[in-house]
């Protein structure tokens, strides 16, 4: 199918996979290509572990886009005016489109979309922690549009320079669309921050609730991140979790503070000597509980996707019957 290094399940195939993976010449040639900055394409030879890691990461990213549409989606019918409603509809539609692009990129690594969706619905697959929190008020939508999109852009702009062709091409397109999301999120954020006292209070409340999930968004600290070292060696991840988190804080904390919104952390400050942002312990136990299925909205999010899967099945089935000829007018 796609080059070398398949993911094998049974023992016989496992030994074959190990042979492919362990071939020192192939591995050295592969790593030399990565060092030269070449792109790896689906039919090229790749180590089993490179394929496994990429698939894990792209699949999680795809699920995040699909589940990520839900907190904002619930506000489409309650948007405060037509302009906001239209922008939100377009944004949510874009996020679903990003999910499709990413599933297509993940499929090039040998896992079918159906298997990925099954793993999402069964709770086996992970997706971003931030989408397991509720969007309680309209101000949450401004925070998501400005700061979660902002955080996603920091991550995706870095990884768009990575080594796997299908993923980096998807990321480039996603980043262009996300930058429109960011603009509308920033505008909505500033609008509330400079609005009535009630609007400011609503935004401050949302900021207080989203601060910690945003710190968690970039993943555990480098000292305990399991995959960073390998992913950076193979240029899948182009910056470590702590570096991306710091870049985000550096870009966005001043923008939040300049409109008079505060952050609920007395220890948040940029160390003038190192240039690194310091913050209170963000409770990594909470992060791990959320990504393992025990956040405030995990069950609700998966239930909605399950409902969509069951109730949308007839559309998929109709589209799969490509030879079907309709002789009776449908309308
Ligand atoms: N959430 O060893 P590391 C968006 C897991 S898209 C959940 O450091 P890694 C667009 C990690 O998977 C947002 N799980 O992991 C949008 C691993 O578990 P595993 C998504 C997390 O891969 C905006 C374990 O912890 N973006 O927002 C998280 O080296 C607005 C150990 O961690 C991407 O997926 C987390 N935050 O680094 C949509 C970008 N962090 O698999 C709608 C691509 C870590 O061993 C509205 N992904 N974990 O069981 C990446 O860049 C990386 O995967 C990281 C994590 C940086 C997220």
Q: How far is the CA of 131 from the centre of ligand 1 (A)?
A: 12
| Closest Cα to atom 36 of ligand 1 | 217
Six token digits for residue 298 = 């995990």
Q: How far is the CA of 218 from the centre of ligand 1 (A)?
A: 7
Q: Which long-range contacts link 21-25 to residues 24+ away (Cβ below 8 Å)?
A: 21/47, 21/48, 21/49
Q: How far is the CA of 162 from the centre of ligand 1 (A)?
A: 16
Cα 114 to Cα 64: distance, rounded to the nearest angstrom: 16
| Residue whose pair of structure tokens reads 């935004």 in the numeric block | 203
Per-position DSSP letters for 172-215, written without gaps between them: HHHHHHHHHHHHHHHHHHHHHHTS-HHHHHHHHHHHHHHHHHHH
Q: How far is the CA of 201 from the centre of ligand 1 (A)?
A: 31
| Closest Cα to atom 39 of ligand 1 | 61
Q: Ligand 1 — pocket residues by CB below 6 A? A: 56-57, 60-61, 64-65, 68, 95, 126, 128-129, 144, 148-149, 152, 155, 159, 216-220, 225-228, 231, 237, 241, 291
Q: What is the pLDDT of residue 300?
A: 97
**CB neighbours (10 Å) of residue 1?**
8
Q: How far is the CA of 319 from the centre of ligand 1 (A)?
A: 32
| Closest Cα to atom 18 of ligand 1 | 126
- Tally the C-alpha atoms within 13 A of residue 57's C-alpha that lie toward its C-beta: 25
Cα 215 to Cα 224: distance, rounded to the nearest angstrom: 15
Q: How far is the CA of 330 from the centre of ligand 1 (A)?
A: 45
Q: Quick one: which atom of ligand 1 is closest to the CA of 72?
A: 46
| Residue whose pair of structure tokens reads 């990129």 in the numeric block | 105
- What is the value of pTM for the model shown? 0.92
Task: Using alpha carbons, list the distances in angstroms from residue 205 to 104, 139, 175, 246, 323.
Answer: 38, 8, 28, 23, 55
Q: Quick one: which atom of ligand 1 is closest to the CA of 144?
A: 30
Q: Quick one: which atom of ligand 1 is closest to the CA of 288?
A: 25
- Could you tell which of 61, 102, 128, 232 is best to mutate to test the pocket of ligand 1, judged by most ligand atoms within 8 Å of the CB? 128
CATH T-level assignment (fold) for domain 11-309: Ferritin (1.20.1260)
Domain ranges of the chain: 11-309
Contact 200, 193 (CB under 8 A): yes
Q: Quick one: which atom of ligand 1 is closest to the CA of 159?
A: 51
Cα 202 to Cα 140: distance, rounded to the nearest angstrom: 9
Q: Give the pLDDT of the chain (331 residues) as one tens digit per residue.
A: 233 333 334 444 444 444 455 689 999 999 999 999 999 999 999 999 999 999 999 999 999 999 999 999 999 999 999 999 999 999 999 999 999 999 999 999 999 999 999 999 999 999 999 999 999 999 999 999 999 999 999 999 999 999 999 999 999 999 999 999 999 999 999 999 999 999 999 999 999 999 999 999 999 999 999 999 999 999 999 999 999 999 999 999 999 999 999 999 999 999 999 999 999 999 999 999 999 999 999 999 999 999 999 999 998 888 887 777 766 666 6
């Amino acid at each position: 199918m796609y080059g070398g290094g398949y993911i094998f399940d049974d023992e016989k195939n496992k030994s074959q996979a190990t042979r492919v993976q362990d071939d020192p010449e192939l591995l050295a040639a592969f790593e030399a290509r990565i060092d030269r900055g070449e792109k790896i394409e689906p039919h090229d030879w790749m180590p089993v572990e490179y394929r496994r890691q990429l698939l894990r990461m792209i699949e999680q990213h795809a699920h995040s886009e699909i589940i990520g549409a839900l907190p904002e989606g619930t506000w489409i019918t309650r948007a405060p005016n037509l302009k906001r409603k239209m922008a939100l509809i377009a944004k949510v539609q874009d996020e679903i489109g990003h999910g499709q692009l990413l599933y297509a990129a993940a499929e090039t690594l040998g896992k079918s979309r159906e298997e990925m969706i099954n793993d999402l619905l069964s709770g086996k697959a992970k997706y971003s922690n931030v989408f397991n929190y509720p969007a309680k008020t309209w101000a949450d939508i401004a925070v998501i549009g400005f700061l979660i999109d902002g955080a996603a852009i920091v991550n995706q702009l870095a990884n768009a320079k990575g080594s796997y062709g299908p993923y980096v091409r998807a990321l480039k397109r996603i980043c262009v669309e996300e930058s429109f999301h960011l603009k509308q999120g920033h505008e909505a954020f500033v609008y509330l921050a400079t609005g009535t006292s009630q609007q400011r209070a609503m935004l401050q409340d949302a900021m207080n609730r989203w601060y910690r999930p945003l710190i968690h968004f970039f993943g555990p600290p480098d000292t305990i991140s399991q995959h960073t070292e390998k992913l950076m060696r193979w240029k899948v991840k182009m910056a470590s979790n702590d570096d991306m988190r710091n870049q985000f804080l550096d870009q966005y904390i001043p923008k939040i503070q300049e409109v008079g919104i505060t952050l609920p952390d007395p220890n948040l400050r940029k160390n003038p000597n190192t240039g690194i942002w310091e913050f209170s312990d963000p409770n990594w136990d909470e992060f791990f509980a959320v990504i393992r299925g025990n956040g405030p909205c995990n069950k609700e999010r998966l239930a909605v996707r399950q409902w969509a899967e069951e109730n949308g099945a007839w559309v998929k089935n109709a589209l799969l019957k490509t030879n079907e000829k309709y002789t009776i007018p449908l309308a």
